[in-house]
Structure 1
Amino acid sequence: MSIKTMNEMIRKHVKAISLSILGILSAAIIPIWQIYFVEQPDVHIEITEIRRINSSDFKVPLSTDELQLLKPYLDEDLFYTFDKNGNRADKINYPEFSIETINAAFNKAKMDIKNITETKSILSKHIATINKYLNPKDKAHLLIEFRVGEIKDWSLRNYIDDDEARYYEKQVLRITRDYADMHFQKGKGAPINTDALNFLLSDVKEDLIEVISENEIRVEKLRDNIQAIDTQITKLKKEQRDIYSFFDVSVVATNNGRASASLRPVALLRVNISKDNYVNLKLDMDDYQDQSNLPEGSTKILHYQSKILHDIPSEDRIMVNTFWGSTGRASVLSLDTKQNIYISNTIAFADNSNQKVMFDKLKESANSL
């Protein structure tokens, strides 16, 4: 076939050939377009909350004479180890307590100061009742009629050792209701060992008198040292916040694209004061295995946590404590498995700051109703 003939055939079928070429090109270009331009993730992230959380691992001993005054207000179990069956075992030589536990004991101590007069009045009434039972001339309070219900009503465990309070109740029950040791006579009730009951109630009375005396001494010491205790606990709280706290950052991640995205477990919290005055904190995603994948058209709430401040360089720690709650502005940068970087909104570096912004917007809308 000559070249002339071929040219004539091409001219006759130029339209069909063009359409074929366009079809081939379209078949090749459209998938490429879909892959690189259409079927792509479109991820947006927004910080909704930054919380500063005190580490529960921070514990301190009662290392000063003032803090030692709080010892009676701490749960006795905190001074012991426990075996695998949950039974109290060895006493701890150098016990340490969380700041929350020490502060709760301090609140109890302050309440004790307020209630000392009422407590003394209650215990004095119990002592007066015991005196009536111990007085053989008091016919309205016969010792033979004393029963365990009355001693239980006194709630002794609120004032003396639990084990001792239980012992007293058990002994009263044994004296007044241990039928096996009683000798019954026809037509008469079983005799009660009133001598034993007399001694027992006398012991209870002595304990309550001792409690009143110890309370007065203890509360007097508390009154003299209450300001020093408050100052020391405030100092410990500051140490915990400045050194033994971490940040929990809540982020809403939305994928508006037509392909899924998988976020890396690591993110960065950038806190800025000015262009050259900033600090970067490494964040780790909670529950990474279940939360990192963002299917197309999905939204997830992600939680990230920083290291405890004790574990970051001291220079960064100083800057974090300086920026927190002041003029610091924070944003989050995250990364997916394809090395795409996503940058969040910027909010104040403070607790619940973004919630306040959202609430203010709602108030503005409410005002227009």
Structure 2
Amino acid sequence: MNKVSSEKKSSLILAVALILGLVIGMVLYMALTKIGDYSNVISAFAGALVAIFIPLWQTYVIQKSRLSLEVNGISRKVSEKAKISLDEHSELVFLRKIKGREARTPFFIVDGLPKRTPPDRAISLDELEDLLNKAKQELKDAPEKIAERKANLEKINSFTKDNFTKYECGKLNRPLHPEIEYNPENVESTLEEFKKHFEESLSELKEKHEELQSSIPAIERKVHQIKTELIENRSFFEISATLINSGRLNTSIKRPALFRVYIGKENYIDLKLTLNDFEVKSEISPNSTVVSTFSSTDISQLPEEDRKLINTYWGQSVQCKLFVEDVHGEPSGSNSIAFSEGLYQKIIFDRLAVVATSHSI
């Protein structure tokens, strides 16, 4: 049921009622001018009708809620319960190393010996993409770090036992843990320790840079493959909508909602939704709006045929609508939007761009 059509119908009925009331009033006036003896009785009867009619009119026509809704956008997200095991994919070896460096699990004393619990290798898609971004950042930073290590090595080679002081030793020690101790009795050995450290560090950085250069493309392809599989099988939909109450009485909507995707003549897919933050977002005051979010269940719970249809038509220009029901059982339908993320916003941006172009400075 379309809420806009219902409001137009109510307005039409109101207009007809006003015209009909005017005609009846004119007829009564003409009758009263011809009937003198019963004019008081008829006037009293008409007054009683008006006295009864006005409160009923206010209650059922004026003092009521008028709910409408507009879908602002639709997004598709991977369920947080969907996990990826880094150990199952050989392409993600470098990401396992990053995860291992970041793991700081607590240790426990078992039989008098400290033992750590193994880090959890099962991660979410967001964590996987975060690890990929860190690997790409390390690849980006590697040339600068290699150049820095080369500069440090050249600086160390420029020192001799006569010009290498404790102060210079302190400057070189700043990034080192543990530090190399300055030995005034044998400065050459101190310089050799620094030289050995920075040569090993430079060699490790070069190896890491080569590994990143060869691994990143394969990692990106694998992450893309995993993301595609999760979206097609373990995702859910979030619909953002503005609920508008243009009436004079507050109203509330029920938690369940329906999102229908029209894929052809008399063909559609129904997604069952629930209102997020129901206790806060369900009530709409008179002449006010509430921006709410509805979430679907994981599409893995849908029949396989419906999942295939969703994956086929997602991102296409097929239309879809949101339907809700208020506490009085009155259904309301939203505007139509494309079954695609960001397309509705793009249409609005394009319209605004046209308006902005027409308003030249």
Please give the range of the TM-score, normalised by the shorter of the 2 chains.
Answer: 0.7 to 0.9
Q: Residue 326 of structure 1: which of 316, 328, 333 is its match?
A: 316
Q: Residue 90 of structure 2: which of 55, 61, 65 is its match?
A: 65
Q: Give CA-to-partner distance per residue, 1:160-186, whole Å, 9 cap, x none.
A: xxxxx4332xx64xx6xxxxxxxxxxx
Shift of 1:91: 4.2
Shift of 1:232: 0.8
Mean alpha-carbon deviation: is it higher for 260-269 or for 214-223? 214-223
Q: What SS does the corresponding residue of 1:230 show, helix, strand or coil?
A: helix
Check if 1:49 corresponds to 2:73: yes
Check if 1:32 corresponds to 2:48: no
Query: Whole-Å Cα distance in 2 between the matches of residues 348 and 242 of structure 1?
Result: 19
Shift of 1:250: 1.8
Provide closer, same or farther for how the CA distance between residues 119 and 363 of structure 1 changes in structure 2, counting only shifts above 3 A.
closer
Q: What SS does the corresponding residue of 2:262 show, helix, strand or coil?
A: strand
Query: Whole-Å Cα distance in 1 between the matches of residues 137 and 328 of structure 2?
Result: 60
Query: Whole-Å Cα distance in 1 between the matches of residues 191 and 91 of structure 2?
Result: 36
The residue identity in structure 1 corresponding to 2:96 is K
Query: Whole-Å Cα distance in 1 between the matches of residues 216 and 301 of structure 2?
Result: 34
Shift of 1:12: 8.6
Aligned residue for 1:160? none
Query: Whole-Å Cα distance in 1 between the matches of residues 273 and 79 of structure 2?
Result: 16
Query: Whole-Å Cα distance in 1 between the matches of residues 40 and 51 of structure 2?
Result: 16
Shift of 1:80: 3.2
Aligned residue for 1:151? 173
Check if 1:229 corresponds to 2:180: no
Provide closer, same or farther for how the CA distance between residues 98 and 199 of structure 1 changes in structure 2, counting only shifts above 3 A.
farther
Q: Which runs of 5+ in 1 are unaligned?
A: 1-10, 84-88, 156-164, 176-191
TM (norm. structure 1) is 0.73
Aligned residue for 1:343? 333
Check if 1:92 corresponds to 2:109: no
Q: Which has the larger radius of gyration?
A: 1
Query: Whole-Å Cα distance in 1 between the matches of residues 275 and 188 of structure 2?
Result: 68
Q: What SS does the corresponding residue of 2:163 show, helix, strand or coil?
A: coil
The residue identity in structure 1 corresponding to 2:163 is A
Shift of 1:75: 7.0
Mean alpha-carbon deviation: is it higher for 105-114 or for 318-327? 105-114
Q: Give CA-to-partner distance per residue, 1:61-97, whole Å, 9 cap, x none.
A: 32233211233444723x23359xxxxx934344233
Provide closer, same or farther for how the CA distance between residues 340 and 225 of structure 1 changes in structure 2, counting only shifts above 3 A.
same
Shift of 1:304: 1.7
Provide closer, same or farther for how the CA distance between residues 115 and 360 of structure 1 changes in structure 2, counting only shifts above 3 A.
closer
Query: Whole-Å Cα distance in 1 between the matches of residues 167 and 191 of structure 2?
Result: 13
TM (norm. structure 2) is 0.75
Aligned residue for 1:187? none
Number of residue equivalences = 317
Aligned residue for 1:6? none
Aligned residue for 2:6? none
Q: Residue 125 of structure 1: which of 151, 159, 175 is its match?
A: 151
Aligned residue for 1:106? 132
Aligned residue for 2:234? 244
> Is the contact made by 1:273 and 1:327 (CA closer than 8 Å) also made in structure 2?
no
